[in-house]
A = this chain, B = another copy of it.
Amino acid sequence: MGSIGESDKYLLNRHQENHFTAGEIVRDIIIGVSDGLTVPFALAAGLSGANVSSSIILTAGIAEVAAGAISMGLGGYLAAKSEADHYARELRREQEEIDTIPDTEAAEVAEILAEYGVEPHEYGPVVNALRKNPQAWLDFMMKFELGLEKPDPKRALQSALTIAIAYVLGGLVPLLPYVFIAVARKALVASIMVTILALLIFGFAKGYFTGNKPVWSALQTALIGAIASAAAFGMAKAVQGW
Protein backbone atom coordinates (compact mmCIF):
# COMPACT_ATOMS: atom_id res chain seq x y z
CA MET A 1 0.00 0.00 0.00
CA GLY A 2 1.57 3.24 -1.13
CA SER A 3 1.51 6.44 0.85
CA ILE A 4 -1.75 8.33 0.54
CA GLY A 5 -1.56 11.27 -1.84
CA GLU A 6 -2.46 14.82 -0.89
CA SER A 7 -5.87 14.68 -2.60
CA ASP A 8 -6.78 11.46 -0.83
CA LYS A 9 -5.72 12.94 2.48
CA TYR A 10 -7.90 15.95 1.78
CA LEU A 11 -10.92 13.75 1.00
CA LEU A 12 -10.29 11.64 4.09
CA ASN A 13 -10.17 14.75 6.29
CA ARG A 14 -13.28 16.25 4.72
CA HIS A 15 -15.17 13.01 5.32
CA GLN A 16 -14.11 12.91 8.95
CA GLU A 17 -15.01 16.56 9.44
CA ASN A 18 -18.52 16.09 8.02
CA HIS A 19 -18.90 13.05 10.20
CA PHE A 20 -17.86 15.06 13.24
CA THR A 21 -20.08 18.04 12.44
CA ALA A 22 -23.30 16.05 11.98
CA GLY A 23 -22.68 14.27 15.27
CA GLU A 24 -21.91 17.54 17.03
CA ILE A 25 -25.07 19.24 15.75
CA VAL A 26 -27.15 16.30 17.00
CA ARG A 27 -25.33 16.51 20.34
CA ASP A 28 -26.07 20.24 20.63
CA ILE A 29 -29.74 19.72 19.80
CA ILE A 30 -29.91 17.03 22.48
CA ILE A 31 -28.25 19.32 25.03
CA GLY A 32 -30.60 22.23 24.25
CA VAL A 33 -33.87 20.30 24.03
CA SER A 34 -33.10 18.16 27.11
CA ASP A 35 -32.82 21.17 29.41
CA GLY A 36 -35.35 23.25 27.47
CA LEU A 37 -38.11 20.68 27.84
CA THR A 38 -37.30 19.91 31.46
CA VAL A 39 -36.51 23.12 33.34
CA PRO A 40 -39.22 25.51 32.11
CA PHE A 41 -41.73 22.68 32.54
CA ALA A 42 -40.58 22.01 36.10
CA LEU A 43 -40.53 25.73 36.92
CA ALA A 44 -44.07 26.22 35.61
CA ALA A 45 -45.29 23.07 37.38
CA GLY A 46 -43.65 24.16 40.63
CA LEU A 47 -45.19 27.62 40.47
CA SER A 48 -48.60 26.18 39.57
CA GLY A 49 -48.54 24.30 42.85
CA ALA A 50 -47.81 27.57 44.67
CA ASN A 51 -51.09 29.30 43.72
CA VAL A 52 -49.52 31.65 41.23
CA SER A 53 -51.49 32.94 38.24
CA SER A 54 -50.89 31.72 34.68
CA SER A 55 -49.72 35.23 33.87
CA ILE A 56 -46.92 35.14 36.43
CA ILE A 57 -46.02 31.59 35.48
CA LEU A 58 -45.76 32.57 31.84
CA THR A 59 -43.66 35.60 32.81
CA ALA A 60 -41.32 33.43 34.85
CA GLY A 61 -41.21 30.68 32.25
CA ILE A 62 -40.44 32.90 29.29
CA ALA A 63 -37.90 34.90 31.29
CA GLU A 64 -36.20 31.61 32.24
CA VAL A 65 -36.19 30.38 28.64
CA ALA A 66 -34.61 33.63 27.45
CA ALA A 67 -32.00 33.55 30.22
CA GLY A 68 -31.30 29.84 29.78
CA ALA A 69 -30.91 30.06 26.01
CA ILE A 70 -28.46 32.97 26.34
CA SER A 71 -26.50 31.37 29.18
CA MET A 72 -26.14 28.05 27.38
CA GLY A 73 -25.67 29.59 23.94
CA LEU A 74 -23.18 32.29 24.80
CA GLY A 75 -21.52 30.04 27.35
CA GLY A 76 -21.15 27.30 24.74
CA TYR A 77 -19.80 29.82 22.23
CA LEU A 78 -17.13 31.11 24.58
CA ALA A 79 -16.21 27.59 25.61
CA ALA A 80 -15.72 26.59 21.98
CA LYS A 81 -13.66 29.73 21.30
CA SER A 82 -11.58 28.97 24.37
CA GLU A 83 -10.94 25.43 23.08
CA ALA A 84 -9.88 26.87 19.72
CA ASP A 85 -7.46 29.25 21.48
CA HIS A 86 -6.15 26.34 23.56
CA TYR A 87 -5.55 24.30 20.39
CA ALA A 88 -3.72 27.22 18.74
CA ARG A 89 -1.50 27.66 21.81
CA GLU A 90 -0.68 23.97 22.04
CA LEU A 91 0.03 23.92 18.29
CA ARG A 92 2.52 26.76 18.63
CA ARG A 93 4.16 25.06 21.60
CA GLU A 94 4.50 21.70 19.85
CA GLN A 95 5.92 23.44 16.77
CA GLU A 96 8.46 25.19 18.96
CA GLU A 97 9.42 21.94 20.66
CA ILE A 98 9.85 20.25 17.30
CA ASP A 99 12.06 23.09 16.15
CA THR A 100 14.18 23.49 19.28
CA ILE A 101 14.25 20.08 21.00
CA PRO A 102 13.58 17.54 18.22
CA ASP A 103 15.32 14.71 20.07
CA THR A 104 12.97 15.07 23.03
CA GLU A 105 9.97 15.11 20.72
CA ALA A 106 11.30 12.03 18.88
CA ALA A 107 11.61 10.30 22.25
CA GLU A 108 7.97 11.18 22.95
CA VAL A 109 6.90 9.53 19.70
CA ALA A 110 8.92 6.48 20.71
CA GLU A 111 7.24 6.47 24.10
CA ILE A 112 3.77 6.64 22.55
CA LEU A 113 4.43 3.67 20.27
CA ALA A 114 6.28 1.75 22.99
CA GLU A 115 3.10 1.84 25.08
CA TYR A 116 1.64 -0.57 22.55
CA GLY A 117 4.43 -3.09 22.93
CA VAL A 118 6.28 -1.92 19.85
CA GLU A 119 10.06 -2.45 20.09
CA PRO A 120 12.65 0.25 19.26
CA HIS A 121 13.84 -1.52 16.11
CA GLU A 122 10.20 -1.63 15.02
CA TYR A 123 9.18 1.97 15.73
CA GLY A 124 12.55 3.49 14.82
CA PRO A 125 11.78 3.86 11.11
CA VAL A 126 8.43 5.49 11.91
CA VAL A 127 10.08 8.03 14.20
CA ASN A 128 12.64 8.81 11.50
CA ALA A 129 9.92 9.17 8.86
CA LEU A 130 8.14 11.70 11.06
CA ARG A 131 11.37 13.60 11.74
CA LYS A 132 11.78 14.08 8.00
CA ASN A 133 8.25 15.46 7.62
CA PRO A 134 7.78 18.33 10.10
CA GLN A 135 4.16 19.05 9.18
CA ALA A 136 3.14 15.40 9.60
CA TRP A 137 5.20 15.21 12.81
CA LEU A 138 3.33 18.20 14.19
CA ASP A 139 -0.05 16.68 13.28
CA PHE A 140 1.04 13.38 14.85
CA MET A 141 2.00 15.03 18.15
CA MET A 142 -1.20 17.08 18.29
CA LYS A 143 -3.34 14.01 17.78
CA PHE A 144 -1.44 11.20 19.49
CA GLU A 145 0.36 12.99 22.29
CA LEU A 146 -2.19 15.66 23.14
CA GLY A 147 -5.34 14.07 21.74
CA LEU A 148 -6.46 17.38 20.23
CA GLU A 149 -8.48 17.76 17.06
CA LYS A 150 -8.24 20.92 14.98
CA PRO A 151 -11.46 22.79 15.75
CA ASP A 152 -13.56 24.13 12.88
CA PRO A 153 -13.84 27.92 13.29
CA LYS A 154 -17.48 27.85 12.20
CA ARG A 155 -18.39 25.39 14.95
CA ALA A 156 -18.39 27.84 17.85
CA LEU A 157 -21.16 29.99 16.40
CA GLN A 158 -23.00 26.97 14.96
CA SER A 159 -22.93 25.23 18.34
CA ALA A 160 -24.14 28.30 20.24
CA LEU A 161 -27.06 28.94 17.91
CA THR A 162 -28.06 25.26 17.82
CA ILE A 163 -28.13 24.95 21.60
CA ALA A 164 -29.92 28.28 22.11
CA ILE A 165 -32.61 27.62 19.50
CA ALA A 166 -33.09 24.05 20.72
CA TYR A 167 -33.53 25.35 24.26
CA VAL A 168 -36.12 27.92 23.19
CA LEU A 169 -38.09 25.38 21.15
CA GLY A 170 -37.93 22.89 24.00
CA GLY A 171 -39.05 25.50 26.51
CA LEU A 172 -42.03 26.69 24.48
CA VAL A 173 -43.66 23.26 24.59
CA PRO A 174 -44.54 23.25 28.32
CA LEU A 175 -45.29 26.98 28.37
CA LEU A 176 -47.76 27.27 25.51
CA PRO A 177 -50.70 25.90 27.58
CA TYR A 178 -50.22 28.82 29.97
CA VAL A 179 -50.70 31.22 27.04
CA PHE A 180 -54.13 29.84 26.31
CA ILE A 181 -55.38 28.71 29.72
CA ALA A 182 -55.69 31.41 32.38
CA VAL A 183 -56.25 29.15 35.37
CA ALA A 184 -52.82 27.85 36.34
CA ARG A 185 -53.96 24.47 37.65
CA LYS A 186 -55.82 23.73 34.41
CA ALA A 187 -52.91 24.92 32.30
CA LEU A 188 -50.69 22.65 34.40
CA VAL A 189 -52.68 19.58 33.40
CA ALA A 190 -52.31 20.43 29.71
CA SER A 191 -48.65 21.29 30.20
CA ILE A 192 -47.97 17.96 31.88
CA MET A 193 -49.62 16.07 29.05
CA VAL A 194 -47.85 17.81 26.16
CA THR A 195 -44.52 17.83 27.95
CA ILE A 196 -44.53 14.17 28.90
CA LEU A 197 -45.43 13.37 25.30
CA ALA A 198 -42.64 15.62 24.03
CA LEU A 199 -40.15 14.11 26.50
CA LEU A 200 -41.04 10.58 25.40
CA ILE A 201 -40.76 11.44 21.70
CA PHE A 202 -37.54 13.38 22.20
CA GLY A 203 -36.07 10.68 24.43
CA PHE A 204 -36.90 8.08 21.81
CA ALA A 205 -35.26 10.12 19.05
CA LYS A 206 -32.23 10.74 21.28
CA GLY A 207 -31.81 7.03 21.88
CA TYR A 208 -32.17 6.33 18.20
CA PHE A 209 -29.53 8.90 17.20
CA THR A 210 -27.04 7.98 19.91
CA GLY A 211 -27.32 4.24 19.40
CA ASN A 212 -28.98 3.57 22.74
CA LYS A 213 -32.21 1.60 23.22
CA PRO A 214 -34.85 4.18 22.18
CA VAL A 215 -37.66 2.97 24.45
CA TRP A 216 -35.39 2.97 27.50
CA SER A 217 -34.10 6.41 26.49
CA ALA A 218 -37.67 7.70 26.14
CA LEU A 219 -38.56 6.49 29.63
CA GLN A 220 -35.37 7.88 31.18
CA THR A 221 -35.96 11.29 29.60
CA ALA A 222 -39.56 11.46 30.79
CA LEU A 223 -38.43 10.32 34.23
CA ILE A 224 -35.89 13.15 34.53
CA GLY A 225 -38.68 15.59 33.66
CA ALA A 226 -40.89 14.04 36.30
CA ILE A 227 -38.20 14.13 38.98
CA ALA A 228 -37.20 17.70 38.14
CA SER A 229 -40.78 18.94 38.30
CA ALA A 230 -41.49 17.02 41.50
CA ALA A 231 -38.45 18.68 43.04
CA ALA A 232 -39.49 22.11 41.75
CA PHE A 233 -43.03 21.53 43.02
CA GLY A 234 -41.73 20.46 46.42
CA MET A 235 -39.31 23.37 46.73
CA ALA A 236 -42.01 25.85 45.66
CA LYS A 237 -44.41 24.48 48.29
CA ALA A 238 -41.62 24.62 50.88
CA VAL A 239 -40.72 28.23 50.10
CA GLN A 240 -44.38 29.28 50.10
CA GLY A 241 -44.85 27.54 53.42
CA TRP A 242 -42.23 29.73 55.15
Q: Report, as a range, how many residues of chain A touch the other chain.
A: 35 or more
A238 to B61, alpha carbons, bound, how many Å? 13
B128 pairs with A116, CB closer than 8 A: no
Q: Is the interface of A mostly helix, strand, loop or mixed?
A: helix
A114 pairs with B42, CB closer than 8 A: no
B86 pairs with A67, CB closer than 8 A: no
The residue in chain B whose Cβ has the minimal distance to the Cβ of A20 is B147
Number of copies: 2
A43 pairs with B64, CB closer than 8 A: yes
B47 pairs with A60, CB closer than 8 A: yes
Contact for A228 among B3, B12, B67, CB less than 8 A: B67
A129 pairs with B119, CB closer than 8 A: yes
Q: Which residues of A contact B (CB under 8 A)?
A: 1-4, 9, 12, 34-35, 38-39, 42-43, 46-47, 50, 52, 55-56, 58-60, 62-68, 70-72, 74-75, 78, 82, 85-86, 89, 107, 110-111, 113-123, 125-126, 128-130, 132-133, 136-137, 139-140, 144, 147, 149, 210-212, 220, 224, 227-229, 231-236, 238-240
Give the 7 A-B CB pairs with smallest separation, nearest first.
A42-B67, A46-B63, A122-B125, A63-B232, A116-B136, A38-B71, A66-B231
